[in-house]
Amino acid sequence: MQAVNEGNIKIHVEDLKKSFHKLQVLRGISTDIYEGEVVVIIGPSGSGKSTFLRCLNHLEQIDSGKVVVDDVDIFDRKTNINTTREKIGMVFQHFNLFNNMNVLRNLMLAPVDLKKATKEQARAKALEMLERVGLADKAENFPSQLSGGQKQRVAIARALCMEPDVMLFDEPTSALDPEMVGEVLQIMKALAADGMTMVIVTHEIGFAREVADRVLFIDEGCIVEEGTPEEIFNHPKTPRAIDFLNKVL
Ligand code: ADP
Ligand code: MG
């Protein structure tokens, strides 16, 4: 466990509640995510993990509570959400690449559209990020020509092109064939080692043990238990966490 809790709070979450129609999905989540911290979220299917991640960059509206990123309340009506969103990269289970564009275009799109970079700058950055995920030779390929693992590495590179200072990952390896999981986790490990602030929903417990500073166990829209990987995986305290871990370990 690194001494990350000494640092600055990057994302402050306070009593976050969120429903879809009558279904209350988040029932009052509070936590602080520190700069450089790697937080892994585990929990049963349907417990609200994806919804929680999506609230962190305002992909969802909330019922009540607060999400504060770098001291900016992102649900305040006066906040320009695009400024905050640019700082937060997101990687999804199903890659969400644009299949009608080659890899390079996928990577250049957001920086150019959002006027963060000229085409030349965006191209240079894209090539640098492809290098970083080991896919410099795939710049001209289309997503359909890539394996699942390669697609996910492209998706990570695409997020990095916006120079985010937080990365959210929603089950980034769940859609991959087993032999491709490692290459994606490897990239994520390298990002963590570089000091990126990361919030990761994953069922990869081995990875979580190795990389997480803190693990949150979410069930039925609440943080039921949190602690270091050692605490959560080796000494879970609540019956719900014990039951869940018995199923996945
Ligand atoms: P998890 O990621 O932990 O599996 P989710 O956050 O995806 O859980 O979903 C939590 C609950 O909210 C589930 O019951 C799901 O069906 C419901 N839900 C998620 N997104 C929507 C939506 N857009 N509209 C209605 N219900 C939703
Ligand atoms: Mg989910």
Residue nearest to atom 26 of ligand 1 (CA): 20
Question: Which regions in the chain score pLDDT beneath 50?
Answer: 1, 3
Q: Give the model's pLDDT for residue 1.
A: 46
Distance CA 114, CA 98 (A): 17
Give the Å distance between the CA of 201 and the centre of ligand 2: 8
- How far is ligand 2, taken at its centre, from the CA of residue 50, in Å? 4
Residue 83: its pLDDT value, please?
Answer: 86
Task: Compute the distance from residue 222 Cα to the ligand 1 centre, in Å.
Answer: 14
Describe the crossing of helices 103-113 and 119-132 by its angle, rounded to 10 degrees. 130
- Return the ligand 1 atom nearest residue 201 CA: 2
Two tokens at 7?
């640092």
- The whole-number pLDDT of residue 249 equals 84
Pocket test for ligand 1, best of 49, 51, 61 (most atoms within 8 A of CB): 51
- Measure 72 CA to ligand 2 centroid, in angstroms: 26
Instruction: Give 205-214's long-range contacts (Cβ < 8 A, gap of 24+).
Output: 205/42, 205/233, 205/248, 205/249, 207/40, 208/40, 208/42, 208/233, 209/233, 211/38, 211/40, 212/38, 212/39, 212/40, 213/1, 213/2, 213/4, 213/37, 213/38, 213/39, 214/37, 214/38, 214/39, 214/40
Bridge partners of 168? 90, 199
Instruction: Give me the interface pTM, i.e. the ipTM.
Output: 0.98
The answer to whether the CB of 61 is under 6 A from ligand 1 is no
Provide the angle, in degrees to the nearest 10, between the axes of the packed helices 148-160 and 178-193: 20
The residue contributing the CA closest to ligand 1 atom 21 is 20
Nearest of 171, 189, 232, 167 to residue 11 by alpha carbon: 167
Nearest residue by C-alpha to atom 7 in ligand 1: 50
Which fold would CATH assign to domain 9-246?
A: Rossmann fold (3.40.50)
Locus of tokens 């693992």:
149
- The encoded tokens of residue 172 equal 């980034």
Ligand closest to Cα of 43 equals 1
C-alpha–C-alpha distance, residues 104 and 89, integer Å: 18
55 lines ligand 1 (CB under 6 A): no
Q: Is the dihedral of CA 7, 50, 84, 74 positive or negative?
A: negative
Cβ(16)–Cβ(58) below 8 Å: no
Q: Identify which ligand lies nearest to the alpha carbon of 93.
A: 2
Domain positions in the chain are: 9-246
Beta bridge partners of 41: 201, 216
Quote the pLDDT of residue 7. Answer: 84
